[in-house]
Amino acid sequence: MHGQDSISAEDTAVVAAILHRWTPAALHGGEIGGIPVGSREIAAAVHYALASLQVAGFEEGQPELPESIKELAHAVVEEGRQLAGPASLEEPVLTLPRPAPRGEAPESGSADRLGAVTSASGSPLVGLEWTATISGPAVWTTTGAAEASGRTVSGGESRSFRVTGEGEIRVSLTVSGLPATSFLVHEHPVYQDLFSAGPETEAE
C-alpha cells in the first residue's frame, strides 16, 4: 500500500486501533472475533482490512483472495471500529459515610464505576490497567494506601475505602494502554509502505 491520502479522518482512529490490536498477533498468532487464528492468516487479514479502508473498491479487485481471509478482514475492521478512540472515562461515583460519632471508628465509603471506559463507539474497553488515587483522609480497604489498581471491566468495578479523619475526599482515576488514535506510514520508494501504530493513549 502506498500513501494514506484516501484514508478518511474518521477511519484514521480505526486504522490505528487495528494496528495497535493486531500487530503482535500478526507475529505470534491470536484471535479474531474470538476465533484462534495463525499469524500468517492474521497478517493477510490485517493487510486486506487496511487496504479496504484505504482504497475504494479494493475488495472487488481481489477475487483470488480466499473467502476465509476476507471474512477475517471484515471482522478485523468491525472490531477496529469498536475499539477506535478517542476513549471516554467515566468519573468514579463516591458514596461517602456520615461522620462517625466521637470515639467511634470511622465508617467505610465506596467508589463505584472504577475503570469504566468506552471507545468512541461506546463499546466497553476491558482488560486495561487502571489506577485510582485517593486524595484526602482515606485509604483503600484492599491496599491500606491511597492508591489501588485493577483491570477494566464493562461498567467498572467498586472498591471500598476507610476514612481516617476529617476533610474532603476525592478519587482520581487513570486508565493506561488504550488503543492508539494515530498511526505512522514508513514509505518506501519501491516496496510496500509499512504502517505502524502510534503511541498508546491514557484517559484520566
- Report pLDDT digits (tens) over 62-98: 557 778 888 888 888 998 999 998 999 999 999 987 6
pTM, entire model:
0.75
Distances (CA, A) of 74 to 81, 181, 189: 11, 20, 29
Looking at residue 4, its pLDDT comes to 42
Residue 151 in contact with residue 114, Cβ under 8 Å?
A: no
Q: Is the pLDDT of residue 5 over 50?
A: no
Q: What share of the chain is helix, strand, coil (3-state, %, to 5)?
A: 25, 30, 40
Q: Give the pLDDT band (50/70/90) at residue 101.
A: low
Identify which has the larger pLDDT, 41 or 100.
41
Average pLDDT, the chain: 81
Q: Name the band, by pLDDT with cuts 50, 70 and 90, for residue 195.
A: low
* Percent of the chain predicted with pLDDT > 90: 36
pLDDT of residue 1: 44
Question: pLDDT tens across 14-55, in order?
Answer: 988 888 887 776 666 677 767 677 778 888 888 888 877 875
Distance, CA of 184 to CA of 204 (rounded, Å) = 25
